[in-house]
Amino acid sequence: MNSIFNAADACLRASTPEDKIARTFATAEAFTRGELRIDDSAPPPEPIRMPGRPERPKLVHARELPRRGFGSTEARAAFIHSIAHIEFNAIDLAWDAVYRFREMPHDFHADWVSVANDEARHFAMLRKRLNDYGYDYGDFDAHNGLWEMAEKTAHSGLERMALVPRVLEARGLDVTPGMIVKLRQLGDDATADILDVILREEIGHVAAGSRWYRWCCEREGVDPESTFRRLLVEYGRGVLYGPFNLEARSAAGFSEAELTALQNAVAALS
């Protein structure tokens, strides 16, 4: 297997956490060593499908998930599980970007291979922390919102970059600082330290989304700020929430106009 597209597909198809993590780490290392090529003669990607997943967690609608605080060991474990599930999905999102958008430059594929590697490492850290609490990935229900947006944007690299990294995944930039403060207040520095790492690296991931979103806009000859506003209106209901961490989002490549558009979109959708 010497094509990054075939290797990405194998990572997507991996159905156990252990296999997906191992394949992700091995593929990222092989790509960095130059052992996997971007095959310009490769056939088009297959239509998007559900990636390989373990039988658990059970996937339910987001409104069916119970609201939990941090007051009990089970509640804290459920919180860690929810973040681990986001990171597990993010591995597949990064590999699907590599696999699906084949016409993009080498640096695009290099960015998302690197992101997949980071997300796998984040998941592994969170899963270990979950094990410390006596639980494992799959012990709580989860939702499928991230992958549903991937399916909706499979036809367009521009829309994928606008909506997955810059809307759904960027939500972590808004809420994680408050989670870290709460965890430290409760004395759970181990979990807070993991979230510190994730927050710092996720700024870079969202920045990659911003960079390639603008690249796609330039290629297609459209204005990035008005296009972003249109996509927020078209796709934002049910997935766009404030308030926003304006400092972190600015560091992740959002312009002042885009930050205003986010705030206006939330107000209009309320």
**270 falls in which pLDDT band (50, 70, 90)?**
confident
The pLDDT of residue 184: 96
- How buried is residue 22: exposed, middle or buried, by Cβ count under 10 Å (0-12/13-18/19+)? middle
**Based on the structure, what is the number of domains in the chain?**
1
Cα distances from 92 to residues 4, 24, 77, 89, 232, in angstroms, run 14, 10, 23, 5, 23
pLDDT tens digits, residue range 174-210? 999 999 999 999 999 999 999 999 999 999 999 999 9
Report if residue 52 sits inside a domain.
no
Cα distances from 119 to residues 25, 85, 89, 124, 199, in angstroms, run 10, 11, 9, 9, 12
Q: How many CB atoms lie within 10 A of CB 102?
A: 18
Range of the structural domain that residue 175 is part of? 4-35+72-269
- Predicted confidence (pLDDT) at residue 1 exceeds the cutoff of 60: no
Q: What angle do CA 52, 196, 16 make, to 5 degrees?
A: 15
CA distance 195 to 192: 5
Check the CA dihedral 195-197-198-203 and report its sign: positive
Closest listed residue to residue 160, CA positions, set 226, 203, 104: 104
Q: Does a cis peptide bond (omega within 30 degrees of 0) precede residue 165?
A: no
CA distance 154 to 49: 10
- Predicted confidence (pLDDT) at residue 61 exceeds the cutoff of 90: no
Report if residue 45 sits inside a domain.
no
Report if residue 62 sits inside a domain.
no
Identify whether the C-beta of residue 195 lies closer than 8 Å to the C-beta of residue 267. no
CATH number of the domain encompassing residue 143:
1.20.1260
Q: Which residues of 83-92 are buried (b: 16+ CB within 10 A; e: fewer)?
A: bbbbbbbbbb
The pLDDT of residue 134: 97
Identify whether the C-beta of residue 253 lies closer than 8 Å to the C-beta of residue 210. yes
**224 falls in which pLDDT band (50, 70, 90)?**
very high
Q: How many CB atoms lie within 10 A of CB 185?
A: 10
- Predicted confidence (pLDDT) at residue 164 exceeds the cutoff of 90: yes
Report if residue 54 sits inside a domain.
no
The pLDDT of residue 210: 98
The pLDDT of residue 40: 85
Say what percent of the chain tops pLDDT 70: 100
Closest listed residue to residue 119, CA positions, set 189, 20, 16, 191: 20
**DSSP characters over 99-120:** HH-TTS-HHHHHHHHHHHHHHH
Q: For the chain, how far is it from start to end, CA to CA, in angstroms? A: 49
Report if residue 114 sits inside a domain.
yes
**68 falls in which pLDDT band (50, 70, 90)?**
confident
Report if residue 21 sits inside a domain.
yes
pLDDT tens digits, residue range 78-91? 999 999 999 999 99
Q: How many CB atoms lie within 10 A of CB 233?
A: 15
Report if residue 194 sits inside a domain.
yes
Mutual angle of helices 17-32 and 106-132, in 10-degree steps: 140
- Predicted confidence (pLDDT) at residue 267 exceeds the cutoff of 60: yes
**42 falls in which pLDDT band (50, 70, 90)?**
confident
pTM: 0.96
Report if residue 106 sits inside a domain.
yes
